Structure 1
């Protein structure tokens, strides 16, 4: 607990956490506007000239439970990015401020330091989730009312999506700590992770959208191997046609987090810090 409190103090005593928090709120607001508009378009979409598979997917996405789940988890895409970057800074700050040697001299068991950083990352990840979820719980019923739809808060699938969203925030924090250990440079880690996350997610979505129909359902289901797409699958509300069950997304993300944490611990124990 002493090490965990120390790691939390390192973040609280700098402007990093609230800068990331403000950026997250701005991105949340932009995402809300986009989701509001896209939901309105989806509910009003004409499927007369579409193929059977496309119609089935659109009808599933337009289901009020899935619409509500998407809005109650609004801000996930950029929120997870912010949490990952903040968690990565927990690791890279030791090298940026040249305190790594002192830290490991005071705590010879390096894995204890890694576990403390992982714990601190999870705490901030969950904190970001709590804040955005509370805002979503206030705003989403208003959005749904404007779309002539009830709040859907009585649906278990909606609360399941909200809970799985919290799990996603915690797991992405673990990924961030692991990547931060792998990439020592604070600037390098921030730029690399941002580009890989955003461009990789958009690129993967484009690839699966363009050639997915040609390769069949088995290829479409492979998109769950992309961490950001696995996170989106987790909060889909109900299982969607052409996609694996939501629990598969959770399993994939947990596997990534376990590997990132294990690799980060191994590297920290074996690598020369001085």
Structure 2
């Protein structure tokens, strides 16, 4: 029964245009950022670009160390691209309420918890696919650019492939978070506004402000974006803090558990808030 429910959820998802539109924008966006930043930093470190002409000051101060550049570039897939699987999960869920497709779904399968579980599993797998697409952009384009400047891409390093694997898991968990948000806030417009406002404005500001003291840095590690970065193991935020400022981070497995807890809390809360209600 669960497998049939999962197949039904995949059919719903793949018969809409939103998944491939988001995937195409994700690839282009991450590819542009990864290629551009890789060219800038690799060019400075290799001496091909004059730092003063690039507007980065003098010398290589302010650029990532040579060995940390590839992971930083590759991590753009999750540290910047995570908003796309969140949107996919939220839209896939809120669309059910908006277009009232939940009515025939619940008539075909009255086990609402099973339907929700199937949706979470489906979007988790879709999020993993989005992670692979984002990595094609960040690793594929980023590594080509880094190699063009004679900088080691670290693709022969097992730590790099561990980062890539954890990125896929992070993106899958973000899609599950999106499902939970969509169930908790069934309004499609409201969900989109919350996702964009929190991911693009609220959390980045909170994380940047928290870097100045130990107390706030400890709290900020449990924000969803910070937990995701801890899971992956690299992020552009590692360069955003003040020199000598307070830093605090979770282990990769702790970050994964925190992100999983966000997804579970939103999904369970949404189940009791809206999923069990009469949808006719």
Shorter-chain TM-score bucket reads 0.7 to 0.9
C-alpha contact (below 8 Å) 1:158/1:237 kept by paired residues: no
Q: 1:207 to 1:30 in 2, by over 3 A?
A: same
Where does residue 222 of structure 2 map in the other structure? Answer: 225
The range that moved more, 185-194 or 158-167, is: 185-194
Where structure 1 has 5 or more consecutive residues not aligned to the other structure, the ranges are 49-54
Where does residue 51 of structure 1 map in the other structure? Answer: none
Could you tell me the TM-score, scaled by structure 1's length? 0.82
Where does residue 127 of structure 2 map in the other structure? Answer: 125
What is the CA-CA distance between 1:143 and the residue it aligns to?
2.1
The range that moved more, 102-111 or 135-144, is: 135-144
Structure 2 distance, partners of 1:255, 1:41, is: 40
Where does residue 249 of structure 2 map in the other structure? Answer: 244
Of residues 157, 168, 171 in structure 2, which corresponds to 1:166? Answer: 168
Structure 1 distance, partners of 2:98, 2:275, is: 19
What is the CA-CA distance between 1:33 and the residue it aligns to?
4.0
Q: Which one has a larger percent helix, Structure 1 or Structure 2?
A: 1
Where structure 2 has 5 or more consecutive residues not aligned to the other structure, the ranges are 46-50, 239-245
Of residues 62, 65, 70 in structure 2, which corresponds to 1:62? Answer: 65
Structure 2 distance, partners of 1:181, 1:237, is: 30
Q: Deviations over 1:152-202 (max 9, x none)?
A: 122222122111111111111111001101111222211221112111232
State yes or no: 1:271 paired with 2:277.
yes
State the SS of the aligned residue for 1:272: coil
C-alpha contact (below 8 Å) 1:69/1:235 kept by paired residues: no
Q: Deviations over 1:89-120 (max 9, x none)?
A: 12111111122222222211100110111011
What is the CA-CA distance between 1:203 and the residue it aligns to?
1.3
Q: 1:68 to 1:11 in 2, by over 3 A?
A: same
Q: What is the aligned length? A: 258
Where does residue 104 of structure 2 map in the other structure? Answer: 102
